[in-house]
């Protein structure tokens, strides 16, 4: 019997009890990859023999940690010493880093089986590579954590590593109908991840449900407090949820508008939750643009080597991004960072009467076509504010493609945000069944 329908948490329990073998779990993943990878194209490298050898060793040895025996995928922006790490660019074809990224090393130490590397867009920017959306191969899976979201959504692997600088976890998770968790800035160490932006880059996790994403992140962040717990262990009153359309709401498509209304209706029908409307401070009107300036400017600096030595091997799209970043003046950059500082100082005001916010993850469902990975407009402000966010699946568009919403918590309140996101996802599931 296939083990893939098991959640990662269920599998972890059975692996710890030795009622499930890591080898069987890995073989199930490999069978699914064999069946679907020619269509979905989520992987750049599958370490078949190494993964099986690792699984067999784990089955014979002592229990190693939270991730014992669980197969994981690693976004190809993240260094692995034993597998190619090309960052989605021909410049680094066949590149082998000297060591694992910190998050990979910690995952292995916690017992994970690294199944392989998943597709990223070019240097985690906007130029797509080969991955397709498993719900409809004619649609983008989003970016830049394209392969990670597609592989998890298609049942090829239960857990995957991703990164976010603007919307690279939330958007592909929303498009592919899975869960993603972006911790507060710095919550998971990013040493060994190809940098894009010093003040924005964040490592996160992708899974099929919130407890699984939290389990993975807890192992990487060294915080067992991140494991999902009942809300009653966090607060002794109803959960206060703020509906936050943001200043970008005009860009929300009908399916996102409908999803927000459906969740609002479900919250109002739940005795354990209270719904409130939240209007963001006036300064937040310019926050998405400020994030864009910061990201562009910092990317241009981070790509200095590639720009100066391999310009012709950058895609025209990335060349344009780098040129836009070089055009951002120091004055614009400093003003953007000053605005961000003011907005972060106002977060306490934003969360004064609510525990978490519910906001769009993307304008709508995954666009048709593979030349674009979609627009991160609804994610930019939360990334630059350094808040924890969780994408939860929230229904489907009229064409059957998934729609996601993000649960946003106060900076540093990762444990509570994960538990709240799980409760909201369960509330939505109950209302739809």
- Print burial letters for 305-325: b (CB count within 10 Å at least 16), e (below 16): ebbeeeeeebbebbeebbeeb
Cα distances (angstroms) measured from residue 166 to each of 172, 290, 311, 383: 12, 12, 24, 6
Sheet holding 402-408, edge to edge: 43-46, 113-118, 71-75, 159-164, 202-207, 179-182, 389-396, 402-408, 356-360, 239-243, 273-277
* Count of alpha carbons within 13 angstroms of residue 246, beta-carbon side: 26
Tokens for 112? 């994970």
Q: Residue length, the chain?
A: 433
Through-space distance between the first and last CA atoms of the chain, rounded to whole angstroms: 27
- Cβ neighbors of 376 (< 8 A, separation 6 or more) are 166, 167, 168, 170, 171, 362
Cis ω for the linkage preceding 144 (within 30 of 0): yes
Angle 254-268/414-432 helices, nearest 10 degrees? 90
Q: Please, are residues 156 and 33 in contact by the beta-carbon 8 Å criterion?
A: yes
Active site residue 2: no
Instruction: Decide if 171 contacts 143 (C-beta within 8 A).
Output: yes
CA distance 299 to 196: 5
> In the annotation, is 75 catalytic?
yes
Using CA atoms of 249, 253, 259, 264 in order, give the dihedral in degrees to the nearest 10.
30
Whether 80 contacts 28, CB under 8 Å: no
Contact in structure between 160 and 206 (CB atoms under 8 Å):
yes
The owner of tokens 């354990």 is 272
* Catalytic site residue from 131, 145, 146, 168: 168
Catalytic residue, from 3, 75, 117, 194: name it.
75
Reading the block at residue 206, the tokens are 């992708």
Sorted by sequence, the CB contacts under 8 Å of residue 47 that are 6+ apart come out as 82, 83, 114, 115, 116
Neighbours of 129 (CB within 10 A): 20
Q: Is 144 labeled as catalytic in the residue annotation?
A: yes
Q: Catalytic one among 89, 117, 131, 144?
A: 144
Active site residues: 75, 144, 168
């Amino acid at each position: 019997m296939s083990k893939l329908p098991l959640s990662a948490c269920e599998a972890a329990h059975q692996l710890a009890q030795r009622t499930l073998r890591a080898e069987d779990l890995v073989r199930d993943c490999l069978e699914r990859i064999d069946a679907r990878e020619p269509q979905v194209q989520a992987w750049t490298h599958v370490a078949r023999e190494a993964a099986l050898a690792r699984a067999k060793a784990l089955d014979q040895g002592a229990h190693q940690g939270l991730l014992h025996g669980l197969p994981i995928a690693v976004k190809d922006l993240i260094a692995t010493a034993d597998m190619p790490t090309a960052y989605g660019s021909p410049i680094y074809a066949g590149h082998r880093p000297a060591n694992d990224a910190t998050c990979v090393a910690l995952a292995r130490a916690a017992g994970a089986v690294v199944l392989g590397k998943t597709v990223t867009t070019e240097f985690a920017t906007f130029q797509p590579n080969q991955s397709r959306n498993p719900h409809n191969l004619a649609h983008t899976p989003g970016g830049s954590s394209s392969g990670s979201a597609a592989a998890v959504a298609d049942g090829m692997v239960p857990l995957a590593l991703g990164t976010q600088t603007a919307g690279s976890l939330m958007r592909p998770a929303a498009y592919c109908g899975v869960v993603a968790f972006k911790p507060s800035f710095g919550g998971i160490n990013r040493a060994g991840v190809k940098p894009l932006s010093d003040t924005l880059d964040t490592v996160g996790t992708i899974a099929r449900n919130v407890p699984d994403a939290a389990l993975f992140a807890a192992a990487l962040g060294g915080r067992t407090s991140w494991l999902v717990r009942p809300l009653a262990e966090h607060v002794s009153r109803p959960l206060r949820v703020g509906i936050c359309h943001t200043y970008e709401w005009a860009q929300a498509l009908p399916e996102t508008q409908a999803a927000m209304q459906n969740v609002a209706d479900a919250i109002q029908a739940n005795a354990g939750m209270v719904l409130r409307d939240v209007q963001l401070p006036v300064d937040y009107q310019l926050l998405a643009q400020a994030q864009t300036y910061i990201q562009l400017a910092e990317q241009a600096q981070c790509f200095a080597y590639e720009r100066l030595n391999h310009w012709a091997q950058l895609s025209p799209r990335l060349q344009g991004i780098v040129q836009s970043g070089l055009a951002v003046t120091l004055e614009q950059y400093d003003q953007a960072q000053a605005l961000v500082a003011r907005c972060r100082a106002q977060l306490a005001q934003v969360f004064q009467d609510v525990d978490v916010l519910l906001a769009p993850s993307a304008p709508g469902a995954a666009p048709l076509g593979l030349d674009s990975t979609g627009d991160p407009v609804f994610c930019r402000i939360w990334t630059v504010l350094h808040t924890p966010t969780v994408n939860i699946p929230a229904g489907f568009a009229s064409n059957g493609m998934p729609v996601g919403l993000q649960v946003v918590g106060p900076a540093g309140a990762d444990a509570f945000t994960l538990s709240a996101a799980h409760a909201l996802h369960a509330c939505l599931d109950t209302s739809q069944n």
